[in-house]
Amino acid sequence: MKILAIDTSALVASCAILEEERTIAEYSLNFQMTHSQTIMPMVSELFNRTSLDIRDMDYIAVSEGPGSFTGLRIGAATAKGLALGHNIPIVPVPTIKAMAYNILSTDKYICPIMDARRGQVYTGVFHWQEEFLLEVVKPQAIDIDELIETVSQIKGEVVFLGDGVPVHKGKLQKYPSFSFAMPNCNYQRGASVGVLAFELIKEGKYIDGRNFKPVYFRKPQAERELEERIGITDK
């Protein structure tokens, strides 16, 4: 079984081809270019370098969100176009949990944080129990100060990763029980999306490409700003 995995949920564009026992190829890029410019050429390069073809893929896994509204839409459009064009099912993969899959074999709690602006992050907290990644704090959008208050109550060390780390590191590094992931595993990775996708496939969690929709957690910024101007607030 082979999977093409795609993640364009944040600053990094990443894609990978995986079999159940190995990552065949992975391509990640974090360099001042829009995902609309990068992701399809990256996917094409994977196929060119491996002599594989989209028709060799059994599933297309895509990071479903939360994350950048534009990035998620680009990932969704890419995955749906490939899936519908070649009759391949899509595996929607939760972004936050896929990020936690970057870090294995640790007793620390894993806390991915994605910058959601205005002092908020998309986040969740996970912990490995043998081969199972358990959800300790459900994925959500939350103020960074509220997250810190919650996580500081955890009896154990916590490792943070994601593009929210450089934004909020000044606050996080004040806590001795907090640490930060190494550069090789601190951002989204297509291979992690693919590894989690294999678990979801076993649970039957794959869909027809026509039914795939990104998960945003919040309204788009333009919509929120409009509601603020006309005096509408979320309850």
91 and 131 both lie in a single domain: no
User: Does some domain include residue 27?
Assistant: yes
235 within some domain = no
Domain with 123 in it: 103-185
The answer to whether residues 168 and 208 belong to one domain is no
pLDDT digits (tens, 9 = 90+) for 174-215: 999 999 999 999 999 999 999 999 999 999 999 999 999 999
90 and 108 share one domain: no
Dihedral, CA of residue 132, residue 209, residue 204 and residue 11, to nearest 10 = 0
Indicate the pTM of the whole model: 0.91
Is the bond leading into 94 cis (omega within 30 degrees of zero)? no
Number of domains, the chain: 2
CA angle (25, 30, 33) in 5-degree steps: 110
43 belongs to a structural domain: yes
What pLDDT does residue 96 have?
Answer: 98
Residues 14 and 71 occupy one common structural domain: yes
Residues 85 and 200 in one domain: yes
* Residues in Cβ contact with 4 at an 8 Å cutoff, skipping those fewer than 6 apart: 15, 16, 17, 43, 46, 54, 57, 59, 60, 61, 82
**In this structure, are 68 and 79 located in the same domain?**
yes
Instruction: Please report, for the domain that includes residue 179, its CATH number.
Output: 3.30.420.40
Task: Tell how strand 13-19 and strand 22-29 pair up.
Answer: antiparallel
Give residue-wise pLDDT tens across range 123-179: 999 999 988 999 999 999 999 999 999 999 999 999 999 999 999 999 999 999 999
Asked if residues 103 and 159 have their Cβ atoms less than 8 Å apart, the reply is yes
pLDDT at residue 235, as a whole number: 44
Does some domain include residue 30? Answer: yes
Does one domain contain both 173 and 194? no
What does the alpha-carbon distance between residue 201 and residue 150 come to, in Å, rounded to a whole number? 32
- Examine the domain organization and report whether 180 and 193 are in the same domain: no
Same domain, 55 and 127: no
Tell me: do 195 and 173 sit in the same domain: no
